[in-house]
Amino acid sequence: MISQDVNRQLIQEIFDLYLRVESEMLQQVSNSVKTNIWQELKSDELTKLRIELQKTVKKTNIISENKIFGSIVKAYLLGFNSANMDLGLASVKLKDINIPSSLINLILELKNSIIASNQTILRRSLDVYREVIAEVSQTVLVGTDTRLEIAQNALNKFANNGITSFVDKSGRRWEMASYIEMATRTATGRASIQGHIDRQIEQKRDLVIVSDHRGECELCRPFEGKILSLTGATIGYMTLNDARAQGLFHPNCRHTITGYVQGLTKIEKSESDPNIYKTEKRQREIERQIRKWKRRLDTSITAKETNLSKSKIKEWQQLQRDLLENTDLRRKYNRESINVAR
264 contact partners, CB below 8 Å, separation of at least 6: none
**Pairing verdict, β 207-210 and 173-175:** unpaired
Q: What is the mean pLDDT of residues 38-44?
A: 59
Once rounded to an integer, what is the mean pLDDT over residues 233-257? 93
- 3 pLDDT above the threshold of 60: no
Q: Which amino acid is at 176?
A: M
- Cα atoms found within 13 Å of the Cα of residue 113, Cβ hemisphere only: 20
Q: What is the pLDDT of residues 203-223, one digit of tens each?
A: 999 999 998 887 778 888 899
The per-residue pLDDT for 53 is 83
State which of 1-10, 32-41, 116-125 shows the largest mean pLDDT. Answer: 116-125
Provide the whole-model pTM.
0.78
Residue 195 or 113, more confident? 195
d(CA 288, CA 292): 6
Question: What is the C-alpha separation between 128 and 30, in angstroms, rounded?
Answer: 10
What is the sign, positive or negative, of the torsion defined by CA atoms of 85, 88, 92, 98? negative
| Per-residue model confidence as pLDDT tens digits over 47-85 | 887 888 888 888 887 777 777 777 888 899 999 999 999
pLDDT at 322: 95
Strands of the sheet containing 257-259, edge to edge, are 227-229, 207-210, 257-259
Instruction: Characterize 180-215 residue by residue with b for buried, 16 or more Cβ atoms within 10 angstroms of its Cβ, and e for exposed.
Output: bbbbbbbbbbbbbbbbbbbbbeeeebbbbbbbbbeb
pLDDT of residue 139: 64
Residue 240 confidence (pLDDT): 96
pLDDT number for residue 111:
84
What is the pLDDT, as a whole number, of residue 223? 92
